[in-house]
Structure 1
């Protein structure tokens, strides 16, 4: 799209699965992006407990396939909010009750949600090509929310940054920090936008000097 529109090179912000896609983009098309801010990419292969994280992810898929969207989403929320590595304590827990999260438990029979099925695994299974990213002219900034703590996407962000030889840049709020309350758990969109602009402006000054 960047090439078709004649819009490149561009500055890019991408979050979660979009951040994974953006990392793949600049590895393949390094001239299309000047600066990439990749916010909390959920990359399982970079984790020290990757096998356990894969098992936790499979548990989300299984809950969805067995009991429907509510059960799957409850399992997804528990997985992504778990602090630290996925240990025996995580797997010893009983299945979470969707009502705990205000989610309906009724199974409508549908199984077309890509987030909760294994159709999304190609995203979380992606491993960034550190050599390709180091060779690209794109400035890559891996970002992590200050409120995400030691939960799944904070750990993947920190580990991805380390893989690329950097320290994750702290942004305001949480995994959805750029969203307001209209979309559920409210972030801090104004503070988030200010931090993003600060980074992009600094990158632009550096490239022009």
Structure 2
């Protein structure tokens, strides 16, 4: 794995950490969850043979601190951050963009707000559940996550959240599963190279911020479907081959059908980027060729 060039970009309310590899037209990678720029380590080098690859830690995550640690978060603000990186790294030319999960939500907003700045967007499982016919059930699910976080803390709330994402209807509890994952953290870090151990540490450290402030605002976001359809020629909607029917998959499938587009399938499930990086990168490369 090559060592990227790193930089810091001051934006209103935060300082963004970003990483750049390769040369050629810009491909901006927007991570979801708590992955940060490191989420793309498994695919960046291969893509850098053809593109200038830029990735970053979204505001409030890992190495992108907020000026006010308690500041609320919005999809529009995160999309503006992505735009500022495009303007910094590709000021004269529109760019290619890939977004995953919550990163795909920010990317969808960017596409509708500034379509002229994007050649193409590949949006992998954006959980914009407000577009679904059963959106009220998913609002109730998110309310359960919030209530569990307030009453019982992070580990039970992560269990409820993870289990709900696995179900199309947003039901499910799953506290035991979440607790088991959390309890496994020390062994997961044991024996890892220092850089990998640091990534795990950052990921786990970002969970309270992600669950408490990213999830509520992002999963309540409703894209402007009229504007999105008008620029859908620049949009590739994607899902995981192993996550068909799960909650994050359904909005991408719904929007693809609504816009009359084929849904692109990546290997693995919602986190196929981590579980199948080589194959995932190959599919992503092809997505920008047609």
TM-score band by shorter chain is 0.7 to 0.9
Deviation (angstroms), 1:114: 3.0
Which structure 2 residue ranges, 5 or more long, are not aligned?
1-83, 184-204
Match of 2:175 in 1: 96
Cα contact 1:60–1:72 (8 A) shared by 2: yes
Cα contact 1:30–1:137 (8 A) shared by 2: no
SS state at 1:115 partner:
helix
Residue from 116, 119, 122 that aligns with 1:34: 119
Match of 2:258 in 1: 163
Aligned partners of 1:121, 1:41: CA distance in 2, in Å?
A: 14
- Give the total of aligned pairs: 185
Which structure 1 residue ranges, 5 or more long, are not aligned?
105-109, 180-186, 203-209
Matched, 1:64 2:149: yes
Question: TM-score scaled by structure 1?
Answer: 0.79
Deviation (angstroms), 1:39: 0.2
Cα contact 1:46–1:163 (8 A) shared by 2: no
- What does 1:51-200 correspond to in 2, within 5 Å? 51-82=136-167, 84-86=168-170, 90=171, 96-98=175-177, 101-104=180-183, 113-117=208-212, 120-136=215-231, 139-179=234-274, 187-200=275-288
Aligned partners of 1:195, 1:99: CA distance in 2, in Å?
A: 31
Deviation (angstroms), 1:7: 5.5
SS state at 1:35 partner:
strand
SS state at 2:239 partner:
strand
Match of 1:15 in 2: 100
Question: TM-score scaled by structure 2?
Answer: 0.58
1:77 to 1:137, Cα distance in 2 relative to 1, 3 A: closer
Instruction: Tell me how large the CA RMSD over aligned residues is.
Output: 2.5
Structure with bigger RCO (C-alpha 8 Å, 6+ apart): 1
